[in-house]
Amino acid sequence: MKTKQIKVMIVDDSALVRKVMAEVLSSDKGIKVIAQANDPIFAMKKMALEMPDVITLDVEMPRMDGITFLKKIMSENPIPVVMCSSLTSDKAGTTIEAIKAGAVEIITKPKIGVKGFIKDSAIQIIDAVKAAAQAKVTKKSSNKLEVKEKHNADIILAKAPRSKFAMSETTQKIIAIGASTGGTQALRKVLSVMPSMSPGIVIVQHMPEKFTTAFAQHLNEISPMEVREAKHGDKLLPGLALLAPGGKHMILKRSGAVYHVDVLDGPLVSRHRPSVDVMFRSVARYAGSNAVACLMTGMGDDGADGLKEILDCGGSTYAQDEESCVVFGMPKEAWKRGAAQELISLKDIPQKLLNATA
């Protein structure tokens, strides 16, 4: 049976960006670009003729900005929207508005003419659109390119023999969370209710570089815990949540009884950087039975193998249930592989994590 193609509309005021985006998306047989528009007014006219399954939307455009258009879409006729933004810090803060307004994915515009970037960019753009097509979106009030080999965590951190996993000199519990599509909203709900002296938390949310800084700052504003983007060498202490920087891998390590994180370069792992599998493997290795881990909403399988490694090393493992996921991809894979001890609703995740660390 022929698989139905995902119909995509590209909305961006740059003709060059529209051209490159169309080429990237059209390189995948499962995607069909049905329309392009240089601003939301033209986009609405084209949507009246044929409704797309997914919209890729620029932030800054003439006549109507992307955030205003996004709010209009989500309040009237919800369609999964992937927000595209320039890779600059001053634009990163705007993405928080996009997340609040209902964008299911955030990606950076491809750097035109930068050798090598377009390949990684192609993977991320295509995956973002495919994830968005599977996303469950609800109404909100109006207030041919080469695809690289899929690496696993071995390329960043070797899997140690089980006998060498997790030193036992400390009983300090840590929490590890991985998420992708829909994870920005899910993390807001989880961290907003975590007590100020919760065990230290390490988080991987699939997100481009620059944007994780603004997202961490936003989480810090709404959470009783201190939340910040991780820096190389940061100690993981009770009351602190560290978010992996976009474009970097983050691994947990331990020196004596003190946990800390390393922030590393490296290739995409499970098609992502940062990768949940990389972070989870390090948690299995250096925290073992002191770890509590949860894999939340997202497309693909990043984190499923790493979660199993944590379970095998004596840690407690959970995955978000289908009903509360925006995309039941990563948690589903973890459940299929026997990596999660229990599927739990988003609203129950904070208490479950706290109970497991008590």
pLDDT tens readout for residues 303-320: 999 999 999 999 999 999
Per-residue pLDDT at 153 = 81
pLDDT tens-digit map of 82-100: 998 775 445 566 778 888 8
- Specify the CATH class of 153-357 in words: alpha beta
Query: What are the residues facing 176 on neighbouring strands?
Result: 202, 293
286: Cα within 13 Å, side-chain hemisphere: 25
Give the span between the Cα atoms of 149 and 10, in whole angstroms.
Answer: 27
299: its two tokens: 């497309």
Q: Is the pLDDT of residue 150 over 80?
A: no
Tell me, what's the pLDDT at 64? 86
* pLDDT single digits (tens) 177-206: 999 999 999 999 999 999 999 999 999 999
Q: How confident is the model at residue 161 (pLDDT cuts 50, 70, 90)?
A: low
pLDDT of residue 144: 43
pLDDT for position 143: 43
Is the pLDDT score of 107 beyond 50? yes
Q: Which residues are bridge partners to 175 per DSSP?
A: 201, 292
What is the per-residue pLDDT for 108?
81
Backbone torsion region of residue 164, taken as left when φ is above 0, otherwise alpha when ψ lies between -120 and 50, otherwise beta: alpha
Q: pLDDT for 221-268, tens place per residue?
A: 999 999 999 999 999 999 999 999 999 999 999 988 899 999 999 999
In angstroms, rounded to a whole number, what is the distance separating the alpha carbons of residues 34 and 247?
30
Rounded Cα gap, residues 25 and 198, in angstroms: 42
Higher pLDDT, 169 or 147: 169
Q: How confident is the model at residue 16 (pLDDT cuts 50, 70, 90)?
A: confident
Query: Which amino acid appears at position 174 of this protein?
Result: I
Pairing of strands 316-320, 31-37: unpaired
Nearest to 160 by CA among 317, 340, 287: 287
Task: Supply the Cα-derived Rg of the chain in whole angstroms.
Answer: 20
Given a cut of 70, whether residue 115 has pLDDT beyond it is no
* Region for 132 from its dihedrals, namely left if φ exceeds 0, alpha if ψ lies in -120 to 50, beta otherwise: alpha
pLDDT of 148: 46
Contacts of 240 (CB under 8 A, 6+ apart): 200, 201, 225, 226, 227, 228
Backbone angle region of 238, left / alpha / beta, with phi > 0 → left and psi within -120 to 50 → alpha? beta
* Residues marked as catalytic: 180, 206, 302
Q: How far apart are CA 33 and CA 109, in angstroms?
A: 17
Q: Please give the model's pTM, rounded to 2 decimal places.
A: 0.84
Percent of the chain, pLDDT > 90? Answer: 68
The three-state secondary structure class of 272 is strand
Give the integer Cα–Cα distance in Å for 72 and 74: 6
Contact 251, 258 (CB under 8 A): no
Numbered ranges of CATH 3.40.50.2300 in the chain: 6-134
Architecture of domain 6-134: 3-Layer(aba) Sandwich (3.40)
CA dihedral 7, 107, 175, 313 (to 10 degrees): 70
Domain with CATH 3.40.50.180 in the chain: 153-357
Q: What number is the average pLDDT over the span 14-26?
A: 90
Smallest CA-to-CA distance from 95 within 142, 132, 148, 58 is with 58
pLDDT at 345 over 80: yes
CB atoms within 10 A of CB 168: 8
Paired residues of 259 in beta bridges: 254
